[in-house]
Amino acid sequence: MNPLRRMSLKGRLLLILLSAMVALQVLSFGGAGLRHGFESRSLRNEVIARDIVYAHGQLRGLAPPERALRAAQMRRGGYWFQVVSIADTTPASDHADFRLILLDVRKWAATPPMASAIVKAGAADAIRLSLDAQQDVLVHFDQALASTRPPFVGIALYIAAVSALVLWIAWIAVRVATRPLDVFTHAANRLAHDVETAPLSTDGPMEVRDAARAFNAMHVAIRRQLLERSQILAAISHDLKTPLTRLTLRLATFESSDQRALMEADVDAMAGLVQEGLDFARSQQLRESKVPVDLNRLVQSIVDQATDLGQDCQIAGHCARPFPAAPRALERVLQNVVDNGLRYGTQVRITLQDHTDAVEIQVHDNGPGLPTELLEKVFEPYFRAESSRSRSTGGTGLGLSIARNLVQAHGGCIDLAPGNGGGLVVRIVLPLPGPAQGR
Ligand SMILES: Nc1ncnc2c1ncn2[C@@H]1O[C@H](COP(=O)(O)OP(=O)(O)O)[C@@H](O)[C@H]1O
Ligand SMILES: [Mg+2]
């Protein structure tokens, strides 16, 4: 897959901005540099040509023996003169700049030199002009002047510095531009955990406001649908209760028989289903207000009830701080989980543990456990693992769904894991409210 496609949005925007900026700079530098180089070169050539005309005139006016000294005195920054005998030959050469200078020299000299040429003097090119029948003058150029290449290193440094600046500004711009995305990600995550979460703020730039409004509208629609669903479930369950009660009463008037016992068992099972359905519908919203709950005592009371019935249930660990919770809801959660442990196993160990920002409750049983692929599936409403479909361990398959709803209503999470040494571990983590939101 193309790595650019997997790049973060921030990275992509940065790359686009930066490459646009660098391309722009290289182009504008190239253009300006070329034009500037061209103009300054022709200007420089002109000045040099005039100076050479002057120097040539000076040297020609002197007696041959005096010329060498005078030539040495006429050293310029960038080029210098050397008087040579015409016997000292130099091979012909060519140089674009020198050709232009030479043209100007010929044009401006009052009496142009008899002969003039571009020659190779040593390693570099030079201009050779004749002075008289015995002597010529060579105009040597320093390397810096002979070279007309623009200062690439300087330009590269400049572009790097500007690019760094642009990168910094672009980084800020990109952060500003992508911040709303982070806000939406957070909001969606919050919504996934708690449909009752507060709506998004509709401040900010127009597009963000529109998106936030759309998000809030979606949030309202989800909440309405959930509410409708649980209202229907609650209404059906509630309305079924009355005929079920009547059925129970009518059955009681029948003569007792095997048939009656079977029917009573069925009505009981139906009543159980109805009650669980009602509880599930209600578990989607907390109906009690939260109060500080002593988790140690809450768990202890559940353990006590189990041991009173002769079951093997023990508690370990301790929570130092009270936890703000809906006490009956939290009791329901723990009751469901402990009941499961004792129903599918014979022994339950509950551990309480404080963390810095949460409390954790683990319920470990010695039952058969669950295959990994079912660990999440069993939280679905009415789902029961195949092995537990027998009447003897009859449940409705709503216990864990109710527990998860209630835990999530406390901002917490509940999940299952295979126990160390067999059995199942139910892990409930309840986050303590931060200092800002002490509800
Ligand atoms: N402690 C446990 N050990 C093994 N399986 C369990 C345990 N707790 C729950 N399960 C499985 O998860 C399913 C769903 O549990 P639950 O929602 O409480 O429904 P119910 O107990 O009414 O069947 C159960 O049917 C059972 O198969
Ligand atoms: Mg159960």
15-64 pLDDT per residue, tens? 888 888 888 888 887 777 777 766 777 788 888 999 999 999 999 999 99
Mean pLDDT of all residues belonging to the chain? 87
pLDDT level of residue 313 (50, 70, 90 thresholds)? very high
From ligand 2's centre to the CA of 384, what distance in Å?
9
pLDDT tier, 107 (very low <50, low <70, confident <90, very high otherwise): confident
Note the residue count of the chain: 439
| Reported CATH class of domain 3-146 | alpha beta
240 burial (CB, 10 Å; 0-12 / 13-18 / 19+) is middle
- Residues surrounding ion ligand 2 at CB below 5 Å: 340, 395, 399
Ligand nearest to the CA of 342: 1
Q: Which residue is closest in CA terms to ligand 1's atom 11?
A: 385
CA distances from 64 to 8, 67, 68, 190, 228 (A): 78, 5, 8, 98, 116
**What's at 397, amino acid-wise?**
G
CATH class of 194-285: mainly alpha
The H-assigned helical ranges of 194-318 are: 206-253, 258-283, 295-308
Pocket lining: 276 vs ligand 1, CB cutoff 6 Å: no
**Ligand 1 atom closest to 363 (CA):** 1
Query: 211 near 199, Cβ under 8 Å?
Result: no
pLDDT for 172 equals: 87
**pLDDT (tens digit per residue) in 356-377:** 999 999 999 999 999 999 999 9
CB-based burial label for 117 (10 Å; 0-12, 13-18, 19+): middle
pLDDT at residue 169 greater than cutoff 50: yes
Ligand 1 site-directed mutation target among 311, 340, 416, 426, most atoms within 8 Å of CB: 340
Residue with CA nearest ligand 1 atom 13: 384
What does the domain layout of the chain look like in residue ranges?
3-146, 194-285, 290-437
Rounded to an integer, the average pLDDT of 429-438 is: 72
Q: Is 113 in the pocket of ligand 1 (CB under 6 A)?
A: no
Query: Which helix H or strand E contains 104, and what residues bound it?
Result: helix 96-108
User: pLDDT value at position 438?
Assistant: 40
- pLDDT of 36: 74
Tell me the best of 400, 401, 405, 425 to mutate to test the pocket of ligand 1, counting ligand atoms within 8 Å of each CB and taking the most.
400
pTM here is: 0.61
pLDDT by residue (tens digit) across 232-263?
988 988 899 999 999 999 999 988 899 999 99
Task: State the CATH architecture for 290-437.
Answer: 2-Layer Sandwich (3.30)
- Percent of the chain past pLDDT 70, that is, above it, reads 93
Check if 277 has its Cβ closer than 6 Å to any atom of ligand 1: no
Distance (Å, whole) CA 318 – CA 143: 86
Closest approach atom of ligand 1 to CA 386: 27
**Cα(415)–Cα(427) distance, integer angstroms:** 5
Q: What pLDDT is stored for residue 6 in this prediction?
A: 74
E strand or H helix at 362:
strand 358-365
Q: 38: CA distance to ligand 2 center in Å?
A: 88
Residue 219 has pLDDT above 70, yes or no: yes
pLDDT tens for each residue of 395-405: 789 999 999 99
Determine whether the shortest distance from the Cβ of 332 to ligand 1 is under 6 A. no
Q: Residue whose CA is closest, atom 25 of ligand 1?
A: 384
